[in-house]
Structure 1
Amino acid sequence: MALARRRADRRIDYWPGFVDALSTLLLAIMFLLTVFVLAQFLLSREISGKDAVLNRLNSQINELTQLLALERTNSQDKEDSLANLQASLSAAQAEKSRLEQLLAQGAGAGDAANKR
């Protein structure tokens, strides 16, 4: 009977090792999950910061685009005004030379009349 009791006491108890392995596995999974959550949090903060910078840069681009369009409009207006002034100047110069020719013809006719 004592022999049977010793055989019963000598059976292999694998549950403590199994529990240790499972708890180690659970701790490793929890550690990895914590690392991934922390990495996700940091990346989301970085991305949201970049989104804010990107939105600010897009608003600056829109503002500069509007300013460029305004400057192009002003430049076109100035070019049109310059073309009108050049046309007026050409017309005034043509009128001046026509009047100078008439004056020269009139002075020449007056000299001819004085000589007679």
Structure 2
Amino acid sequence: MKRVLLAPKARSFLLSEASYLRDHNPRAAERFLERMREARRSLARFDQLGFAHDALPINGIRRLIVGDYVLDYFPGDTVMIVAIRHARQSEVPIPTDDIADFESPRPPKLGED
């Protein structure tokens, strides 16, 4: 199973959206968080979910639709989610300024490469 990490802006959106929903409808917040957990579990198993398209702004990025939300991610040994947003915000550009600033993967143990 692959690791699935969040870029800082994706993590920030996830937390702020959960907080906003919790203030207005706690049940909706729990559903949102569960959908995001399930999406991460799915991406950990199948990193080619969603779709790639020439219209996506970064070469190699894929897009996964999860309910009312759009997740943009890079597949690979470690799946990196670079953006999460509500579908109504789908025209918001994918942040490229922090592409290399993902959660740090755990350092390898002695003897691992």
More strand by share: 2
Structure with larger RCO (C-alpha < 8 A, sep 6+): 2
Larger radius of gyration: 1
More helix by share: 1
TM-score, normalised to structure 1, is 0.21
